[in-house]
Amino acid sequence: MSMRISRRAWLTTSVPALGGLLLTGCSRETFVPPRVRGGLIGAADVLTMSTNRLLLSGQQLAREYSRSDVANPFPTWNQTNPRNAEYQRHASEGFKNWRLPISGLVQRPRELSLDEIRSLPARTQITAHICEQGWSAIGEWTGAPLQRLIEEAGGVTPAARYVVVDTFDGWYEGYDLFEVAHAQTILAYRLNGRDLPRGNGAPLRLRVERQCGYKNLKFLKSIRVVESMAGIGRGTGGINSDFGFHWFAGV
Amino acid sequence: MGVDSASISEARRPAAETSVRPPSTAHSYNVRICHWINLVSCVYLLWSGVHIFLDFPELYWGHTGYRGHPAAFRLADWGLSWEEAGALGDRRWGRNYHFTAAWVFLINGLVYVVWNLYSSHFRNRMWPARAERTVGHVGAELRDHLRWRSRTHAADGSYGTLQKASYLILIFLFVPLMILTGIAQSPGFTAAMPALLDLFGGRQTARTLHTIATVALVLFVLVHVLEVAAAGFFVKVRSMITGK
């Protein structure tokens, strides 16, 4: 009896979930990291990522909180002021001459100024920043959806698989198109109602709310769309996984 | 199957029949294999979990917690500064092994629970019989424990009532609590199942409960090993390996 109910429950939840995945055009990249590590650790990586992605096949939003939950000032961690000369010049000019190039496998590669990004339809979300170390803080982020920015460059070409974000402090990270398409995946230029402070990643930082803090890159320099993560850093998919952290940081 | 607890067989069968087919209390293949896989995965989970914790050795209640936020527990108050703790722990190693061991633990645990629900192991050997569920019986067992005396009726290898209760509480209460408080800290799983955040009242509460439950489980294992030692360490460990 209980057997029959659980089987029915399994079918009613899993079949639409799989259907949803097929409709959103998911492929291998949705379930498996760009480079699968060896042994049991690699198998666990795939299990973690596939389970997460199956459960999130409806592109559900991460929990959004109320304004009274916001941490003000928002904590800063790691790099708070890249020493990079180009970054310092942009910062001293108030990022007036800063441009974000969108290149690679897009229909019309282009550059966007901060004002152009600010003029795009914006999304504001009060979400928890969840550091893999164990701390978490809630902030109100305002920015342009990454998907919208890529559409400003004409959208991706059929071969596109990952969006790579590069930063002024030398970080780089790849994101599969499933993560890019999520409504809360935004490039934030405002935090708690004010221009994004330098310590939190001015002029622009990425928000991927369903992954840990280290995937939320600060001090954005450029965006490129690629077919494969091979040849970028050590080829594992990003700077964090190059250092041995999980590429998929949903846990 | 065929592993009736002594009390059930005594109550239902005439004495003559027990000598024909004595109640088997040997550990089944499933119990033995799952026990040792479980031990290995738990050692990794504990050790890697300590590494992860040392990198951020503070605990909070609620949804948020960060350096400077009012903490429920700070390792620094116990004499180990943030920097010293961070130097001891390696969260990269910790995270890789924690989540790998968690999958081993979960799959092994599911095999164990499903198998033993199906084989009636839980019902026959771990669910206390009616005679065992009395205040007098439990009280007598408790007195025996406190006097450091092994149960006189345990010669057949059946579990004591306190033992049964602690195993059942561990398997069906503490282990699910560990798993749920673990995934309630994950940004991915909580986006899919936001009810986890409401269940515990926030991610940081879940992290704190995860840590408290870890301490409780370590204490359980200490008592478990102590009991095994009291009952004859070599014989008991051999029976969990060979089934004899």
If pLDDT is split at 50, 70 and 90, which confidence band does B14 have? very low
Q: Is residue A97 part of a domain?
A: yes
- A246 touches B at CB < 8 Å: yes
- Residues A107-127: pLDDT tens digits? 999 999 999 999 999 999 999
What domain range includes position A149?
A: 63-242
Partners of B185 on chain A (C-beta within 8 Å) are 130, 134
- A10 touches B at CB < 8 Å: no
Q: Is residue A23 part of a domain?
A: no
Nearest CA in chain B to A244: B92
Among A137, A143, A142, A131, which Cα is nearest to A73's? A137
Between A111 and B152, the more confident residue is: A111
Does position A23 have pLDDT exceeding 50, yes or no?
Answer: no
DSSP A122: -
> Minimal Cα–Cα distance from B68 to chain A, Å?
9
Nearest CA in chain A to B190: A62
Backbone angles phi, psi at B151, to 5 degrees: -60, 135
- A46 touches B at CB < 8 Å: no
The answer to whether residues B6 and B73 touch, using CB atoms and an 8 Å cutoff, is no
Residue ranges per structural domain of chain B: 28-242
The answer to whether residues A136 and A216 touch, using CB atoms and an 8 Å cutoff, is no
CB–CB contact A55 B193 (8 Å): yes
Partners of B53 on chain A (C-beta within 8 Å) are 134
> Minimal Cα–Cα distance from B74 to chain A, Å?
13
CB pairs under 8 A between A and B: 107
ipTM of the complex model: 0.88
Residue B151 is predicted with a pLDDT of 59
- Tokens standing for B158? 């059946």
Nearest CA in chain A to B104: A44
Q: Is residue A100 part of a domain?
A: yes
Q: Is residue A2 part of a domain?
A: no
Taking the C-alpha atoms of residue A177 and residue A165, their distance in angstroms, rounded to an integer, is 13
Q: Is residue A112 part of a domain?
A: yes
Q: Is residue A50 part of a domain?
A: no
> Minimal Cα–Cα distance from A113 to chain B, Å?
31
Number of domains chain A contains = 1
* CATH code at position A95: 3.90.420.10
Which CATH architecture fits B28-242? Up-down Bundle (1.20)
Q: Is residue A6 part of a domain?
A: no
- Residues A178-235: pLDDT tens digits? 999 999 999 999 999 999 999 999 999 999 999 999 999 999 999 999 999 999 999 9
If pLDDT is split at 50, 70 and 90, which confidence band does B231 have? confident
* Of residues B63, B95, B187, nearest to A211 (C-beta): B187
- Residues B56-98: pLDDT tens digits? 999 999 999 999 999 999 999 999 999 999 999 999 999 999 9
Q: Is residue A58 part of a domain?
A: no
> Minimal Cα–Cα distance from B9 to chain A, Å?
28
Q: Are strands B73-74 and A205-207 parallel, antiparallel or unpaired?
A: unpaired
